[in-house]
Amino acid sequence: MKRKIIFALVFSVICSCMIGFTGASAQTNTSVALQKVNFVNATVVPDSLNVRQGASTSFPIVCVLKKGQTVKIFGKIGNWYAVYEPQKGCVGAVLSNYLTPAGGSGTSSTAAPSKAPVYTPKPSIFVPTPAPSVIVPTQKSSIVPSPVTTAPATSGTTQEEEALLSLVNKARADAGVGPLKFDMALVKVARLKAQDMVDKNYFSHDSPTYGSPFDMMRQFGITFNYAGENIAGNSTIEGAFNAWMNSPGHKANILNANFNYTGLGIVSSPTYGKILVQQFIGK
């Protein structure tokens, strides 16, 4: 439990959130992506190493590590590691070339997963500015939500989930990227996340019930080399998809060639009309 709390804190500090509004009604949505690494402990290489609040040198320094110190690695964001230093309780991000796996040699490590190539995300995926505060409205919207289709299609997914995946896969085809397939275990996770956001009245990647998206996936036995999540509040499927495609971070998740499976959850919301959760994994 302690590790899960620390892991959620790492992402609340490091990962950038993007909020967008388009059309006549507001769409609020965020994206996050994490690359898995194949080791847990790493050692500081230089004499001193700044740990920053986010994955960019524009973020403030939260603590300074010394040569030879060991830190916990939770994942990789671009060229940065999300780290936790247990002695000081320091949580933040450091450049990957200043750490080496504990017990290893050399002055740097790319720490790529053994089953997947090194992933260098496009600069537009991660915004090098502090994440804005996400404010959940306390008043209900005047928008009358359209009913959510609950009748399952032949695959076990709903018609709305199928429609959203069709929009996503058309965009991927136009970009020359292979289609996503439903992973029904991940569909279950995305539906639970969407319902949890409605039931607990929050809008965030970090769930008070399940923790970070990546913690939640692991709790339900989902394995991955790459993972990501987009969330949105919108009155229509098309509106949410268009808002995602107009946001560099969300679009990058949708068009990410490292992802090959997805889970979608769409739940009626008294605030937004619908809450939509799309989770991505690469196996």
pLDDT tens, N- to C-terminus, the chain (283 residues): 444 444 444 444 444 333 332 233 344 445 556 677 777 888 988 888 888 887 777 778 888 888 888 888 878 887 888 888 877 778 888 888 888 887 654 333 333 333 333 322 332 232 222 333 232 332 333 333 333 333 334 369 999 999 999 999 999 999 999 999 999 999 999 999 999 999 999 999 999 999 999 999 999 999 999 999 999 999 999 999 999 999 999 999 999 999 999 999 999 999 899 999 999 999 9
For 31-67, give the DSSP string.
EEEEE--S-SEEEE-SSEEEEESSSSTTSPEEEEEET
Dig out the tokens for 85 from the structure.
């230093």
Longest dimension (CA), the chain: 61
Dig out the tokens for 148 from the structure.
């959510």
Q: DSSP assignment, residue 25?
A: S
Neighbours of 87 (CB within 10 A): 9
Q: Where are the beta strands (DSSP E) in 128-252?
A: 181-182, 226-234
pTM of the model: 0.53
Dig out the tokens for 69 from the structure.
């110190």
